[in-house]
Structure 1
Amino acid sequence: MYAIIANGGRQFKVEEGQELTIDYRSDAGETVTFDQVLAVSDGAGDVKLGAPTLAGATVTADVIGAAKGPKLVVQKLRKRKSSRRKTGHRSVLTKIRISSIAAG
């Protein structure tokens, strides 16, 4: 059984027991519920599609922990002006484990 969920402007195909990394959501030890479920498959070939989401379908996950992602460096250079700016940031990410998928 798998589901396709929308979170943070991205879509993820998830299965029970799968671990994935998303944008920061909550602290470790908490349970997160995703209600923007786009599609659910029962594994036997039967797929339910939403328009755009399935009513009553939810995916729950346990938060494993949070960590910072890789450093992204942004540079701005103005040609022939001897003017440069270099900045960077590291986004905080959350690692989750999918615990259950409810088709609704």
Structure 2
Amino acid sequence: MYAIIVDGGRQYKVEPGMELDVDFREIAEGESLTFEKVLAVSGDSGMTLGSPTVSGASVTASVLGTIQDKKIYIQKFRRRKNSKRRTGHRQSHTRVKIEKIAGV
């Protein structure tokens, strides 16, 4: 059984027990998170596609904590001006574990 969900403008294929990194949210560790935008649900009775979403379907996940992505560096350089700047950025994500998929 799997589902395709939308979160933060991205689509994810999720299965129960799967760990997933989504956009950062101010949610405490151990709390529950529900994804309502479900595009498709696959189960024993076959595939259910939404137009655009499957009505009544949802995916429940528990929050495992907050993590940071790898550091990226941004360099700005102006030629012949002796002007250089280097900064870095680490994006924060919320790691969740998919608990159950409630389909139609």
TM-score normalized with structure 2 length: 0.90
Paired residues for 1:24-63 under 5 Å: 24-25=24-25, 26-43=27-44, 46-63=46-63
C-alpha contact (below 8 Å) 1:19/1:97 kept by paired residues: yes
C-alpha distance 41-73 of structure 1, shift in aligned 2 (>3 A): same
**What root-mean-square deviation, in Å, do the aligned CA atoms of Structure 1 and Structure 2 show?**
1.3
5+ unaligned residues in a row in structure 2: which ranges? Answer: none
Contact 1:68 1:90 in 2 (8 A): yes
Q: Structure 1 vs Structure 2: percent identity of aligned residues?
A: 51
Structure 1 unaligned runs (5+)?
none
Aligned residues: 103
Superposed, 1:1-104 pairs within 5 Å as 1-25=1-25, 26-43=27-44, 46-104=46-104
Runs of 4+ in 1 over 6 A off after TM superposition: none
Q: TM-score, normalised by structure 1?
A: 0.90
